[in-house]
Chain A
Amino acid sequence: MKKLDIRLFRLIKNSKGQFISLSVMVILALTIYVSFSMVADNLNDSIFSYYETTRFGDVFVEVVKIPKSAIDKLHGIEGIEKAEGRISSDVPLRVEDPNEKVSVRVVSLPKEVAGLNNAYLLDGKRLTDSSKTTMVLQQFADARGIKAGDEIVPYIAGRQYPMDVVGIVGSPEYIYLMENEQALMPAPEKFGVIYVTEDFAQSVLGYQGSYNEVMIKIKDDYIDQIDSIVDEIEDQLDRYGVKRTIKREDQLSHRMMMQEVEQLETMATAITVLFLIVAGAIINVMLSRIVKNDRMSIGVMKALGYNNFKILAHYTKFSVMIGLVGSIAGILLSIPLSAAFTELYIMYMNIPMFEMKVYPAYFVYGILLTSVFCVLSGLMGARSVLKILPADSMRPEAPKAGGRIWLEKIKPVWHAISFSTKMVIRNILRNKRRAVFLTVGIALTYSITMVPIFMSSVWGNLFVLQYGEFQTMDYNIDFSGPMNRNALRELSQMIDVDLIEPKTEIPFELRNGWKKKVVSIIGIAKDTAVYHLKSPGGYPIELPSSGIILSENLAKSLDVHIGDEILIKNFLPDKKDKSIRVKGITKQYLGANAYMDIEAMSDLLGEHGVFTGALMNSKDDVVSKLKNVKNIRQVQSVQDMKNSFLEFMDMMIYSVGVMMLFGGILGFAIVYNVTIISISERTMEFSSLRVMGFDKKEIYKMITKENGVMTLMGILIGMPLGYSMCEGIAVSLTTDLYTIPIIISPSSYVVTAVATIFFVSLAQLATIRKIYRLNFMEALKNRIS
């Protein structure tokens, strides 16, 4: 082995703490990159192979009623591979606890097995001809303990239908099971899907020979023309009352799954790059210090005839070794980690064909990425090798200019502080680069630690804002059809209400040019007491008697501003589309909606004096009282949502912990390395202090004080930095479904500070050995290494 390499290995051995801490960062970066990327790919592949097997459609059209012949005619449109009808309707399910409200979506399956959006049999057998058989969606079955052979009893059109569960199935359209866009999170014990025979659905739901949903599969070669095909479909189906058209990319489960894949990919790169940048920065500083300390040795190497390239390579190899160790260990670790992650996804994601594939390409990318980072940071750190002139390096370096610092000019202050504190302050101010690096490092630690703390409160805040400030009703009631004012009166008679308001909520497609979005337009009373519309600036908005108010995210995705006109596509047969002016934009955290005065909404619908539901405040037991009431489709209790929400929250703790750990590792690595570097380059100074009679403790205290001051400054800088990081995360997480509010409570700042101080203290403790082992006599004797 080359003697310079031997020297390198001994150098690494002598600074193994630093080497290990930096390698750990590279290992983490690479492990996260490789395993997250592989899981993202595996997830994506599994989803699409599931789609393939179950023939998941590309376009779904909800209509009022359509005969089979009209669906068959769709095959005339160029590019359509298959169009198929089905019946789908949400109905209540009988459960033991009378207070519990559970609903199921009854979905019809055709007799032919190779239909679109097919159910994937997991247990039991498929539907028989008997109208009493049903297959139940796995998540719902698991959550409610339903097994093949059990009996379930849905209420359909007011009647109970006992049905035999013959099979448990998975479905490509319910990988992520949510009732609708307004649901905050999956609640598989409250909402499920059951599959029944087409004959049964048609007869009990009143669709003889017809359907209310059309599923369409587009030929692969035509998939890029999907928009024009959708337009043709809508034109052709217009007279059957198109309620909404959903392309696969907008389908709820698909969209959530794609978001999941995207989030994994984003995490894979973001965390990796962050760790590599920090590791690179530390390597850079560390190597530049090593080179500085090795000035004489470098001079000797040059005198011996080693050229710049060889010497530069010698020092750069230090970081290359970190990259090498990190890459190998990272790859070895990433394989079991990906497998564990995959297992986790199998458990949560309900994709029956999830399988783990290893993509060696990511190993190559990962190694390339780490190599580039390590080589670059190594070269940058060691580049001062080039500037060292052999003749100069033989002379001891001129002492650093030391002058008075500005604080000394404030005499009363300066005189009041102790000698060692003076040294602390001078040291910080005199080595500004080191101070800045440490401070920035701690600021980074603080801000990274802040993100998970912020994230852990995000959903709670979201909930509080949505249901505490934006809408303040206790119950949201949907009728099964439009009702007049008597319905409200009847409700107030049945229930002890504190407040009741009518509402009309109907999904429409809103268009601005080629941009379109299907949302519920909610008509509310002009003097509503349960909706509190506020402008993005936080000012209350009055509901205008004409025109429409859009939620902020809706306005953004349609790219409309106050004063613009948008088109409301009317799905009712033979009704014209209408243009309407946007009168305001409101903040809404959960979901995307448009709001109108309920009277103006009636004008739009052409029906006066009818409502589709009610908004209610009551301390009464509303859910159970309305349980078997005819004409009430759904009663949504905000309290129930809150409870299931809290359960969901518990699951978040795990990922928050992992993020905190990352912040901690980062902070530790920064503080540990900077302190070690600082100790090694100040060996002379500390040795002199020891000779003068300072003991080890006093020197250690001095370093601790220095780090303490910089920790404080780091935390102060970290606060705004953390805030903007959270802001960035919030913006990137904001989707059509929810807007993440940026609320960081004072206690979050304090908790983050405590965590940061904890990480810094750990690193500080880890360096204590170096000071205690400092052989000051040796250091003073050997002026030259």
Chain B
Amino acid sequence: MKNDVLMKVENISKFYQMGEVTVAANKDVSLELYQGEFVVILGASGSGKSTLLNVLGGMDLPTEGKVFMEGEEITRYNDRKLTAYRRDKIGFVFQFYNLMANLTSRENVELATEICKDALDIDEVLEAVGLGDRKDHFPAQMSGGEQQRVAIARAVAKNPALLLCDEPTGALDFKTGIKILSLLKQINEKYNKTIVIITHNVPIGEMADRVIKMRSGEIVETKINRNPVPPERIEW
């Protein structure tokens, strides 16, 4: 099962023009993501991990190189196709949750599922993230951890092929952060979802099937964990 290639990234580079200086956010990055895999991309800020995530998620196109999702080259997609790709294949979880302030938690999830073809049952997903009794609360009435659960529910309920999490615990305290990581692990196992977490928090790497380290826009190390540690045992 884990040998099925879900995504393939071939020699991508991303350059930004900052005034007269060209900054390389990604330099010749190549990697493969397998179906059902739990991947952690580690790197300090400015290492190019967010850029890579955006490229994987179809939010941004690389300057050079190719990206394939289930064999289709998404780097050749136009804007309309990229939108459809994000809608059907990708679930995002952001550091600052990015919920719609004037929608309840259930409505925030529905906002995502309304435009998807095979969305999961919303109530079931909300139960799964432990928010069965908070469905009608607005973001402002919830704690950061709860808001992040809504964000995860929103990403999962779309039933995407790939779940991309950008520093999902970055704004949370340690205990809440661990709970969120366990939730992500559960989802990985329960729904067999491929999950990519990017973080600068090294210990999180212990729970991954594979850890990819980035520095200055390049992959410097890839480590396979034969025995991932359960999130509950991680400490930072």
What residues of chain A have their CB less than 8 Å away from a CB belonging to chain B?
Answer: 2-4, 6-7, 10-11, 14, 296-297, 299-308, 310, 389-391, 394, 778, 782-785
Contacts and interface: CB of A to CB of B under 8 A. Distances in A.
Given A7-B100, A7-B107, A785-B101, 16 more contacts: A3-B114, A6-B103, A7-B103, A11-B102, A14-B102, A299-B98, A300-B98, A302-B83, A303-B90, A304-B111, A305-B90, A305-B116, A390-B54, A390-B60, A782-B140, A784-B96
Interface string B79-122: 11001111110101010111011110001101110111000000
B142 interface: no
Given A4-B111, A7-B100, A785-B101, A304 B94 contact: no
A389 B14 CA distance: 15
B231 interface: no
B59 interface: yes
Contacts of A6: 103, 107
A489 B141 CA distance: 100
Contact of A304 (B54, B80, B97, B115): B115
B102 A389 contact: no
Nearest to B88: A305
B83 A307 contact: yes
B57 interface: yes
Nearest to A396: B96
B60 A389 contact: yes
A10 B100 CA distance: 11
A303 B86 contact: yes
Contacts of A310: 115
A784 B98 contact: yes
A305 B108 CA distance: 14
Given A3-B114, A6-B103, A10-B102, A303 B84 contact: no
Nearest to B87: A305
Nearest to A3: B111
Most buried by B among A6, A299, A778: A6
Q: Is the interface of A mostly helix, strand, loop or mixed?
A: helix
B96 A304 contact: no
A390 B112 contact: no
Interface residues of B, number: 36
A785 B96 CA distance: 9
B102 A303 contact: no
A390 B59 contact: yes
Given A300-B94, A306-B83, A391 B102 contact: no
Contacts of A782: 101, 140
B98 A296 contact: yes
14 contacts: A4-B111, A6-B103, A7-B103, A11-B102, A302-B83, A303-B86, A304-B86, A304-B158, A305-B112, A308-B83, A391-B51, A391-B60, A394-B50, A394-B59
Contacts of A14: 102
A302 B86 contact: yes
A304 B92 contact: yes
Given A300-B100, A784-B96, A391 B115 contact: no
A302 B154 CA distance: 14
B87 A304 contact: yes
Contact of B80 (A300, A307, A391, A394): A307
A3 B59 contact: no
Contacts of A308: 79, 83
A306 B54 contact: no
B117 to A, nearest CB: 11
B110 A303 contact: no
A305 B86 contact: yes
Nearest to B89: A305
A680 to B, nearest CB: 13
Contacts of B79: 308
A336 B203 CA distance: 74
A14 B100 CA distance: 14
B102 to A, nearest CB: 4
Interface string B114-147: 1110000000000000000000000010000000
A10 B166 CA distance: 29
